[in-house]
Chains A and B, each alone.
Chain A
């Protein structure tokens, strides 16, 4: 029967001691980081860059998606009426179609208007000269209510069945391409994020490893005085966590800075296209994601360092303790 056991303490006392020790370690770690401001700042800066780059990328991508995704796509469906359809008929048809559920908005470009537009733009001037009659059809420009592929195909079928309709051109291919491009960008961003997250993990891990190396004596002494593994690890895990958190805040500031810097030119550009589009600052969810990611990368990197380094620091092999040669 072994007499030595882990000393019993009430849960309340354990919790109190535990909480007090965590607070103590937090303060201790912060003071230590403040004592080496350059080194700490550099580590935080690397983490901030690693997290800030993908965060900026996603914020801009989100803005882009909003720019192309939410405003109506004008005339996603173009309907060409059969040549020779009277203009009154075309107007009547436009009225009918406007009542369809699938049709959000409709515009009519009569053959005469179309010809005039071409003349105004000075395109095909010579070709138009030699024609006696207007070769252009009346055109209906439809903004569909639903822009998903299936709805557009159904709408196309209904339109084609109309006797006056000559041809229907869908523009969902363009939408599909845009969606594919967005998906590509999203995945590239994911790969970038993964690569940079690993970089942050390694940088924090290496910083903590050096930290452990510099504090080897402290670790040995603490172990000799009866410190548990958890006690020895705690300050290093806290240091990693703090590097991650401060890095995340740095990344947040970086995203904000980039948006602020681009906001003016983007607004000018949007205005020139007649849009009220404005870059938006990242929302709270981006901050929380950054904080969570930073915290886990920091604690994870520190854990890697602690798990690999502190075994080697077992006081079984301390320097000095009894290994000294007395002359």
Chain B
């Protein structure tokens, strides 16, 4: 699915995000990306979403070297991904339906198809019937579920989550994780960046552990 080949990311400030990381994530895997703050988790995700490009090395996504992907193709690469953020990144001037429909509008789906898929995604996260609600009226856990619905509504091949449970209590976190497991079961590759050791231990999933930009533990058998 995705392969990092000796990837180094050095920021213009001199800070090293990743330092010679090689890792392979197979299709359909469910794994965690962990490490202390500043270990390189965010850099790892940004190199997949092409918010950043590596200083050295290659990132291979489904056979393409995306580290050298032309700028005009970057939007189309991003449409293959679904990303869940800790801060949700919802648009607060639009209702739940419009938020979840956004990836479909961007990808050019027709109205009928949009309605069908948005309902399916909201049903999946247990928010069917809340389409007209404004995000601000929802609880933190509900907002996160809207974010997840938006991340999967266009059926991405890979789901990335950046500290998706950072603001949630353990029970809500477990619910979110159960959702991710469901997606994993239908073949979506799921990569969850988290520093929540207890949660990771409880999930019993492979872990990529980073420390100061270096790969220190890789339980995928690379």
Chain A residues within 8 Å of B, Cβ to Cβ: 2-7, 9, 16-17, 20-21, 24, 217-218, 220-228, 231, 315-316, 318, 320-327
Contact = CB atoms under 8 A, between A and B. Distances in A.
Contacts of B162: 321-322
A310 to B, nearest CB: 13
B75 A324 contact: no
B102 A17 contact: no
Interface stretch (B40-48, B122-130, B203-211): B40-48
A6 B51 contact: no
A237 to B, nearest CB: 17
A217 B78 CA distance: 17
Closest 7 CB pairs of A and B: A322-B42, A226-B78, A226-B79, A17-B108, A326-B37, A226-B75, A228-B75
Given A226-B78, A322-B162, A221 B102 contact: yes
B63 A3 contact: yes
Given A4-B77, A231-B106, A20 B111 contact: yes
Contact of A225 (B41, B66, B78, B108): B78
B105 A21 contact: yes
A222 B102 contact: yes
B51 A326 contact: no
Nearest to A230: B75
A217 B64 contact: no
A316 B108 contact: no
Interface stretch (B22-30, B86-94, B133-141, B180-188): B86-94
Category for how many chain B residues contact A: 35 or more
A322 B46 contact: yes
B19 interface: no
Interface string B80-118: 110101110111000000000011011110110000000
Contacts of A231: 75, 106
Given A3-B63, A7-B76, A225-B102, 5 more contacts: A5-B76, A221-B90, A224-B89, A315-B51, A320-B85
A11 to B, nearest CB: 14
A321 B108 contact: no
Q: Residue among A223, A225, A316 with the most chain B CB within 10 A?
A: A225
Contact of B110 (A17, A217, A228): A17
Contact of B89 (A220, A323, A327): A220
A24 B105 contact: yes
A15 to B, nearest CB: 11
Contacts of B78: 223-226
Interface string B44-65: 0110010110000000001111
B170 interface: no
Interface in B165-185: 166
Nearest to B17: A322
B1 interface: no
A225 B38 CA distance: 25
A4 B76 contact: yes
Contacts of A6: 72-73, 76
Contacts of B42: 321-323
9 contacts: A6-B72, A20-B111, A221-B91, A224-B51, A225-B102, A320-B89, A322-B45, A322-B46, A322-B162
A325 B15 CA distance: 15
Contacts of A315: 51
Contacts of B87: 320, 324
B103 A225 contact: yes
Nearest to B43: A322
A198 to B, nearest CB: 32
Contacts of A224: 49, 51, 78, 83, 89
A224 B83 CA distance: 8
Contacts of B79: 225-226
A318 B60 CA distance: 24
A301 B66 CA distance: 35
